[in-house]
Structure 1
Amino acid sequence: MKKLRTILFAITCTFVIALSTLLPVTAIDDAFDLGKNLYSTNYIFLDADTGQVLSAKKQDEQISIASLTKMMTVLLAIENSSSLNQTVTITDEMIDGLYEEQASVAGYVTGDTATVLDLCYAAAIPSAADAANALAIQIGGSFEKFYQMMNDKAAQLGMNHTVFKSAHGLDREGQYSTVEDVSKLLRYALQNPTFKEIFSTKEHTTQATTYYPFGIPLASTIWAYADTYGYNLTNLSGGKTGYTLQAGRCIAYWATVNDMNIIAVTAGASTNVEQYSNLSDAQTALTSLASWHKKTILKKNDVVSTIEYKSFMHTANIDVKMDKDITLDLPADVECTYEIDLPKKFSAELYDQNIQATITFTADNKTIYTKTISITLPQEKNIFGRIILHLQNFIKG
């Protein structure tokens, strides 16, 4: 019987681990609350590799995200340019109204020429609105067409609570996003090496312009202010800051701490206590994450359940095994357990059965991660068994 069970499992029973479904941590708790000492009102911290949400608060609240918008602008420029060395001529339309709104600008004037790549650096590093507008018109042909491209991309990425109405992120009526949506954008964008390089650059000098014969010197709003005001952002790899009166101080960044690749988005930080409260929050969160570590909860081939499978001639116990390791990020001294909602008994049918089940991982009395599995059980192959099943189905109508 044991040999028969082994053969039955090896030949006829397969299972596929499906895409993870994640549940954010929203409850305030000592171990998991990375935001308890932050100025920001909205935040999300997640593992870039697994998508595990480490901590979050008001992550789906619609808010202004200020210049975090420029990440979408630069991403679309990278993805839709025939060449990043293509030359763009600055027009009045690209810079009109920006000085009146006191927007951050690189200093381009009408008639200047710039490469798409330089404009990407200018929009990303010093958060230049003139560069963002130039990219919008260059890539979209008009502002409105580019905004549509932004919103189409947002929909593609599952940013279901986001509407873009500018390329630079200055406050506009009806324009909003969420920190969770921004984290989706950043997680996707980091797969693009050019995006990653641009948003991790500390300094860059553009080609010569009218008022800058040696090129415009660009400095990152993250590291320039961190160095000036003494914030320790050693583990921070790259990112984008933002600020408007409506949005408060915002920042989206990625960092590596104890082999954990972290994505963080924080927003709504007041400047009443600290001028650069977003950078202060980044320092606080990274310090807290230093006590977190990766922990393998399940290993490949670990048995997560055993099911009884009954066919016409035989009954076999089949072990459901993991096809890969499950490794999660956890605070120090926190244990993680798991449960699977899979019935224990199945009978063969006239068709293959695709069974869905969910493995729920719990730590500190909270669900921190869920994973859906799909198990395929084979159809009844014995001819007499199939005849009986047909008769049973006929009687049932």
Structure 2
Amino acid sequence: MKNKVLTHRLTALLLLLTLFCPAFTPRAAALDDPKIDATAAILVNPDTGMVLYEKSADEKRYPASTTKIMTALIVLENANMDDVVTAEEADFHDVTWDASNADIKVGEQVKVLDLLYALMLPSANEAANMLARHVGGTIENFVDMMNARASELGCTGTHFVNPNGLHSDDHYTTARDLYTIAQEAMKDETFATVVNTAQHRMAKTNMHDERIIFTTNQLIFSSYQPWFYAYAKGIKTGHTSEAGNCLVSYSNRRDAKLFSVVLGCADAPDSSTVAKSFTETKRLFEWGYENFVSKTLAKQGDAIQQIDVRLSADTTKLVLTAGRDLNASIPKDLDPEDMEKQITVPESQNAPIKAGDVIGSMTFSYGGVEYGTVELVALNDVELSKVLYYADKLENFFKGTVFKVILVVLLIFIVLYVIFNLTFGRMRRRKQRKMMRSRYNRYNRRR
């Protein structure tokens, strides 16, 4: 009986909390951790910048051939795709018999565009060296360009020593930095086309007939394999014994875009499957699409807040609106109406004001997680009243420090003047009385 009464009381309490305290509304359990089997990983919606998943994303790791994303970006920004590069002996100094290559020969003349395909599909190390030498003059200069570009992009955990990703203790990056570099590279249409190509026919050269090269990216290589992912659009694989298996990938599913980076994945458990970098990336994409959805939290032009206006004869209020559409990736079971909205605006704004002026901001969050911030802008122009402006200046002058200093000086002057008059006035009166007594005494003596 007591248990039933207790149950009814708890139910009633929960109902009251639900009705009057939205923060206590029962929700679905927190998202399940996908438990990605990698030493570092990150999953990001590039349209919103929202990180959906991360694991040791800022820890320094060896990137292996995912380095070539930056190599390709520098080439695309500095070279003509029709330029022809002649392979030199030095381009092969670090290309061992078991290193990734495109079977380019010393003295072979290859167009830059074909070298890019060789760089990004079979991950040819000699192509990386040829491109670096062509663009930078020397490989060392090109590496300096890579590091400078990484710094420009805001990469704080990255340092390159070569253009191909062969191991060096001083050659490292982070999952977050690789996402930043890949996002920038994917803005280039040529890059996006190259990395989403499963096979490419290289043009005939002075030393080769036409030949077909294949991608190492198993997510896009063959639709007949279980690890194939139809929404994947590249980008780059990598592997060394020190780095493990790495993959930077991009997915576009019904205009919902995701970038994924996994580093340090294990090798294939047996010959019938692939390295875990592919299966873990596919699983991470599927987890992201299953658990998150893109929603509009604010629409451009939505009226958000009113604040007071000063120094205008036209109005005393200013309407603030959302400066742009704010889209965010949020958990599927989260209603945007339940999100906390932190509005940061001044109590008042002085005229003149132009429509579109940024006045404040509004941040959406839930459970301590921020999902996006939108600027709040003035809805309309507000003209300045010169009468009110100068009246305000005068009022501020009387309230200001300068006026207070002048007032203090003036008071000191008055006090000193009074003291002076009191002091020297007595002295004059004494002198006058003394003179009068002297004259009186002289007069009496003459009588």
Q: Tell me, what secondary structure is at the counterpart of 1:341?
A: strand
Post-superposition Cα deviations, 1:131-173, rounded to whole Å, max 9, x if no partner, equal 1111111111111011111112212222232211110011113
Task: Indicate how the Cα distance of structure 1 residues 386 and 136 shifts in structure 2: closer, same or farther if over 3 A, else same.
Answer: same
Give the AA of the match of 2:217: I
- Partner of residue 160, structure 2: 164
Where has structure 1 moved over 6 Å in runs of 4 or more? 349-352, 376-380
Counterpart amino acid of residue 334 in structure 1? L
Deviates more, 1:230-239 or 1:220-229: 220-229
Alpha-carbon distance in structure 2 between the residues aligned to 1:258 and 1:376: 34
Give the structure-2-normalised TM-score: 0.73
Structure 2 counterpart of 1:87, one-letter code: V
Equivalent position to 1:183, from 176, 179, 186: 179
Match in the other structure for 2:210: 215
The change in CA–CA distance for 1:159 and 1:374 in structure 2 (over 3 A counts) is: farther
Instruction: Tell me which of the two structures has the higher relative contact order, counting C-alpha pairs closer than 8 angstroms and 6 or more residues apart.
Output: 1
Q: Name the structure where strand makes up a greater proportion of residues.
A: 1
Match of 2:264 in 1: 268
1:13 alignment counterpart = none
1:97-112 alignment, distance < 5 Å: 97-99=94-96, 102-112=98-108
Alignment of 1:197-216 (within 5 A): 197-208=193-204, 213-216=208-211
Q: Which residue of 2 aligns with 1:319?
A: 319
Question: Does 1:286 pair with 2:285?
Answer: yes
Paired with 1:375 and 1:177, the residues of 2 have a C-alpha distance of 42
Give 1:222 shift.
1.0
Matches within 5 A, 1:118-129: 118-129=114-125
AA paired with 2:209?
A: F
Matches within 5 A, 1:121-140: 121-140=117-136
Describe the superposition over 1:297-345 as per-residue Cα deviations: whole angstroms up to 9, x where unpaired: 2223212222222436576332211243222223322223242332462
Q: Distance in 2 between matches of 1:388 and 1:350?
A: 15
Matched, 1:359 2:354: no
8 Å contact from structure 1 (residues 302, 321) kept in 2: yes
Q: How does 1:1-397 map to 2 (within 5 A)?
A: 30-31=30-31, 36-81=34-79, 83-99=80-96, 102-208=98-204, 213-223=208-218, 230-271=226-267, 273=269, 275-291=274-290, 292-311=292-311, 313=313, 316-336=316-336, 337-343=339-345, 345-348=347-350, 357-373=360-376, 381-395=384-398, 396-397=400-401
| C-alpha displacement of 1:381 | 2.6
SS in 2 for 1:241: strand
Q: Which amino acid aligns with 2:293?
A: H
User: What is the CA–CA distance in structure 2 between the aligned matches of 1:109 and 1:312, rounded to whole Å?
Assistant: 76
Which residue type is aligned with residue 345 of structure 1? Answer: E
Please say which of residues 265-274 and 146-155 is displaced more in the overlay.
265-274
Identity %: 25
> 2:140, 2:77 → 1: CA distance?
18
More helix by share: 2
1:44–1:370 CA distance, 2 compared to 1 (3 A): farther
Q: C-alpha distance in 2, partners of 1:304/1:57?
A: 36
**Aligned letter for 1:366?**
V
Give, in whole Å, the separation in 1 of the partners of 2:126 and 2:200: 16
Distance 1:158 1:349 in 2: 37
- Number of residue-to-residue matches in the alignment: 364
Check the 8 A contact 1:340/1:357 in 2, yes or no: no
Shift, 1:116, TM fit? 0.9
**Larger Rg belongs to:** 2
> Is the alpha carbon distance of 1:172 and 1:267 closer, same or farther for their aligned partners in structure 2, counting shifts above 3 Å?
same
CA 122–57 in structure 1, closer or farther in 2 if over 3 Å, else same: same
Against the structure 1 CA distance between its residues 278 and 345, is the aligned structure 2 distance closer, same or farther, given a 3 Å change threshold?
A: same
